[in-house]
Amino acid sequence: MLVVFSCRPQEKKQLKVEKIKHYQIKNIEYNILVNNDFETFDIKKIYENNADGLGKTYELTKNITIEENAGDKGSWFVKNELANNSLYSTYKEFYQSGKIKSKGPKFKEDCKIGIWYDFDEIGKLIKELDLDKPFKITIEDIIEYLKDNEADLYSSFTSINRSYEEETKKAKWSLIYRGIYKDKPGMFMIEIDDSRAEIVKVVKILGKEGEKEFFLKNRKLFCEIIV
């Protein structure tokens, strides 16, 4: 097998910094999906005709789909509730006893957002944490950005992730989507500095050959992999 890896940096004129629009929207849609009530997992149900506790998916109603999974020998249980045509799901973790451990909303099934609740093993609420608080950019800002760039929000190709470092107070967003970037179509990975609401890195996947094109603030770096 012959692998050739080459990178050809190309100096470019200073690019205009691209900002993410901040709409100051306070969306309560996903926070009202979850409350701090104690609840339990139906352990008996997941093991019905399913001795290994393999994942189950079923419809709670015509509009709500439930996904359930169990850990090895019932060491833990999880439940994800997703409404049809909704971008938000409710994720719940349970102790081995079936008592609630934590719960909160997610964007689709990937990104934790909004208010999360933690419980101890006897069912007492011990923590309420607003995961949106450290971020300047809101999930709505990101959704609007993806819409503007013709991404299909419901597609499996579209994902949103974010991270926050308590020590450095730095927050960032990572997006993957199929759509456009600066009017060019393709599959993109975008990195956003939350504090400045600036796009700091764009990676375009060019094709099956594994080629990638990197766009940084003030220079362009093209990397090609040939196998």
Closest by alpha carbon to 179, among 189, 170, 171?
189
Listed range (13-17, 44-48, 51-55, 108-112) with the worst mean pLDDT: 13-17
Q: Which amino acid is at 12?
A: K
pTM of the model: 0.80
Identify whether the C-beta of residue 132 lies closer than 8 Å to the C-beta of residue 138: yes
Identify whether the C-beta of residue 137 lies closer than 8 Å to the C-beta of residue 20: yes
What was the pLDDT predicted at 13?
46
CA angle at 188 for the pair 9 and 65, rounded to the nearest 5°: 160
Supply the DSSP symbol for 49. Answer: T
**26: pLDDT confidence band, cut at 50, 70 and 90?**
low
Mark 137-163 as b/e (b = at least 16 C-beta within 10 Å).
bbbebbbbbbeebebeeeeeebbbebe
Average pLDDT, the chain: 84
